[in-house]
Amino acid sequence: MNRTLVMMAIAASLSIAACNDPGKQETATADNAADTSAVSQPVDMHNAANSLDLAGEYEGTLPCADCEGIKTTLNLNKDSLFTLKEEYLGKKSPAAFNSKGKWVVHKNTITLQFDKELQDRRVQYKAGENKLWLLDQEGKEITGTLADKYIMTKK
């Protein structure tokens, strides 16, 4: 019986020693340090709305299916209002359209919200430093051989 008690005492001592293993404590401490460093990492909150000076006048001649191009001038005002002038070049009778509304930014995309009869029209641009890229009807970048023709530059 004494032998059993001695064996149990040795087993208990080994168990306690294993729990206090310095190697395990260092690993646990290293794991905790890794966890806290992930929490303390700053979150990048930069986007077009807070990183770029978007207000201003942008110009470009965009492709046109049945004319020489659409000379486009977009004024983004600081009060979130816009004016858009589109002049269809090479037409027998001059065709120019002016519209206005409100512009909003979500991440790096500018969406034009038109007034009145054009309110169903959807126009979006990807914002960059002094440039806007016209996006397709689904809000995706235009690719292909004419992709560089859909860029408007800030004056």
Render pLDDT for 25-51 as a digit per residue (tens, 0 to 9).
444 444 555 554 455 555 544 445 554
Q: How far is residue 146's CA from residue 84's CA, in Å, rounded to a whole number?
A: 22
pLDDT band at 6; cut points 50, 70, 90 = very low
What rounded mean pLDDT belongs to the chain?
80
Q: How far is residue 35's CA from residue 64's CA, in Å, rounded to a whole number?
A: 55
Whole-model pTM: value is 0.67
Render pLDDT for 49-89 as a digit per residue (tens, 0 to 9).
554 789 999 999 999 999 999 999 999 999 999 999 999 99
- Name 58's Cβ contacts closer than 8 Å, sequence gap at least 6: 73, 74, 75, 76, 131, 132, 152, 153, 154, 155
The token pair at 86 is: 């589109």
Give the alpha-carbon dihedral of 150, 151, 154, 155, to 10 degrees: -70
- pLDDT at 97 exceeding the cut of 60: yes
Q: All domains of the chain, ordered by start, with CATH? A: 2-40 (no CATH), 48-154 (2.40.128.640)
CA proximity to 82, closest of 57, 109, 116: 57
